Structure 1
Amino acid sequence: MNLTLWIATGLLAAVALAGGLTKTFVPKERLAAQHGGEWTREATPRFVRTLGLLELLAAVGLVLPAVLDVAPVMVPVTAVCWVLLMVGAMITHGRLGQFALVLLNTVYLVLAVFVAWGRLGPEPFTG
């Protein structure tokens, strides 16, 4: 179970890192021109960058606390925050009729729920 939780956490961290780097450093106009980035047309550049920074923080928060054994409870807390972010992403992509992306966000949401449940329940880092 511990290995499965680490794999799920690593996948989520990789997704958060990729999304965070993209939203933080790719110009909004370029994001808006790509499939899945259409939502950025109506968003301010500051909002897009803020989401990117939150995703970068999520990537760090999913892994670093456990690896360093400093406040490892932040891993499931970060996973819960990721769930909330995915709910917002699902609503946004749903409004645009991008149901394949809603499904993809649902997969990420399920992985985050699994990580939060696993690290708060059967496989905590401490205790």
Structure 2
Amino acid sequence: MNIALWIVQGLAALGFVYSGWLKAFQYEKAAASWGWVKDVPKTFVVSIGLAELLGAIGIILPLALNIVPILTPVAATGLAVTVLFGALFHIRRKEYRNIGVNIVFFALTVFVALSRF
């Protein structure tokens, strides 16, 4: 089970690093990839990106380094909440095809959070 959890944590971290990097440091690329980015303030998009990057670090490093390992499920919970709000945002905007990614990453992060607490 531990190996499966590490694999899930790694996949989730990779996804959040990609998404967070685009939002935080490659705003124009993010705007070209995701239509919603143009409709919200840039600072909001960058903030989400930074939160995703911190969450990606938090879902791996605390447990891997055994330094305050409780931060790993806390980071997973924070990422799950972020993805849930993202899904609600897409539902409100009737962007239903974007919700599939949210559901996958919500499931990954909830699995990590519940298993690691």
Q: TM-score, normalised by structure 1?
A: 0.86
Match of 2:32 in 1: 33
Tell me which of 46, 49, 52 is aligned to 1:52: 49
Q: Is the Cα–Cα contact under 8 Å of residues 39 and 92 in structure 1 kept in the other structure? A: no
Q: After the TM superposition, which parts of structure 1 deviate over 4 Å for at least 4 consecutive aligned residues? A: none
Provide the aligned C-alpha RMSD in A: 1.3
Residue type of the partner of 1:27?
Y
User: Shift of residue 82 of structure 1?
Assistant: 0.8
Q: TM-score, normalised by structure 2?
A: 0.92
The structure richer in helix per residue is 2
The correspondence of residues 77-92 of structure 1 with structure 2, limited to 5 A, is 77-92=74-89
From the CA coordinates, give the structure whose radius of gyration is larger.
1
Structure 2: tracts of 5 or more residues without a match:
none
Residue type of the partner of 2:36?
W
Structure 1: tracts of 5 or more residues without a match:
121-127
Aligned-partner Cα distance in 2 for 1:22–1:31: 5
Aligned-partner Cα distance in 2 for 1:112–1:3: 15
Match of 1:16 in 2: 16
What count of residue pairs does the alignment treat as equivalent?
Answer: 117
Q: Is the Cα–Cα contact under 8 Å of residues 94 and 102 in structure 1 kept in the other structure? A: yes
SS of 1:33's equivalent?
helix
* Aligned sequence identity (%): 34
